[in-house]
Amino acid sequence: MQATAEILGKKILVEWSASADKAMSVLASPMLVEMELYFSCLIRKAVRFGQDAPSPYSVTVTPRLKLGFRPVVTKACKVSDVEDEPPVEDFKLTKPEAFVPKKLFLDFKRGQWVGEFYM
């Protein structure tokens, strides 16, 4: 399955597997999928699933799927000081539209949501 969404004037192709489509069909409310672009010592991409993620740029893709884009920056760069997920804050980009991903793929495997986005 697929749909096209637009964030900050940029089109994003959103594709999802049959198992993801089946899992979305039973959701009571739309699931927000957040594409997080993490700036720190290195740049990292993450796809986060939930209903209340704090994406500053979000759109509705289907009645059961919302899509968000969130650039963040870590509060510290020393990776050895942080276990698990380091604390982050929203990163105010001068031109955030330049960083909006072009494609997102979603799947539902072994009871877990998984996703990958492409720049």
Please state the rounded mean pLDDT for residues 34-54.
72
Residue 77's pLDDT band (boundaries 50, 70, 90)? Answer: low
Number of domains into which the chain is organized:
1
Long-range CB contacts (within 8 A, 24+) of 85-88: 86/40, 88/38
Model confidence, pTM: 0.70
Asked whether 101 and 69 are in contact (CB, 8 A), the reply is yes
Domain containing 88: what range?
2-118
- How confident is the model at residue 69, as a pLDDT? 80
Tell me which residue has tokens 């884009």: 69
